[in-house]
Structure 1
Amino acid sequence: MGDIKNKVNIDDKLFLNTYNADTISHLIIKDQAVCADCKDKPCTELCPARVYEHKDDKITVGFEGCLECGACRIACPHDNIDWNYPRGGFGIQFRLA
């Protein structure tokens, strides 16, 4: 039996990162009506930072905590997310330890 490695808690790892949040979102829902008709809402499940939330029959975007991985734009089956990198000097700064 090999060594048992410590399990990594994603929330603990995310806590190490720092953010310089912009006042302008780099993540835009193109059409909320498209999201309302989306049955599974995969953006709310796939985003590792939980940026997207289904609340009050709308998708809300907490762009300030975005990891800039781009998973949301791939996950949206309707191409309904306008994804860009944050403006220069803004966004996430990764810390690995």
Structure 2
Amino acid sequence: MSTQPTTPTIDNDSLEDRLYTVKYDDPGDSHLDVKVPEICADCETNDCVRVCPAEVWREGEDGVPRIAYENCLECSSCRFACEYDNVVWEYPERGGGVTFKRG
């Protein structure tokens, strides 16, 4: 008779705690934007908002996402998620952007 392996108990930090370990040097200007706001206003899926792990993209009242670029992890998920190719995503200026404490 074989025994079922048990699942180990692992105490992980919350997403908010892990995001707190990320340092962002603000270059002063957003490296994120939308190309055509009207496309966002007509979008029904808001994929850029749904895929962002840091909640940088947030639904705006007018349908156009509000962008809190200071929280960006530079993963570019928003760019690939947008089925309309309507996301402007660039790396921040040299010396700005995200620095990870834990690699």
TM-score by length of 2: 0.87
Q: What is the alpha-carbon root mean square deviation over aligned residues?
A: 1.4
How many residues matched? 97
Q: CA deviation at 1:3?
A: 2.3
Matched-pair identity in %: 35
State the Cα distance separating 1:12 from its structure 2 match.
Answer: 0.6
Q: CA deviation at 1:29?
A: 0.6
Match among 84, 88, 103 for residue 82 of structure 1: 88
Q: Which runs of 5+ in 2 are unaligned?
A: 1-5
Worse overlay, 3-12 or 65-74: 3-12
- Partner AA of 2:12 in structure 1: K
1:16 to 2:21 alignment: yes
Partner of 1:35: helix, strand, or coil? Answer: helix
Q: Which amino acid counterpart does residue 78 of structure 2 have in structure 1?
A: C
Match of 1:73 in 2: 79
Query: In 2, distance between residues paired with 1:18 and 1:63?
Result: 13
Moved over 2 A (4+): none
Aligned counterpart for 1:41 among listed residues 43, 46, 49: 46
Amino acid at match of 2:39: V
Q: TM-score, normalised by structure 1?
A: 0.92
Structure showing greater Rg: 2
| Higher RCO structure (Cα 8 Å, ≥6 apart) | 1
Q: CA deviation at 1:9?
A: 1.4
Residue matched to 2:57: 52
Deviation at 1:72, TM superposition (A): 0.4
Instruction: Name the CA distance, whole Å, in 1 between partners of 2:10 and 2:52.
Output: 25
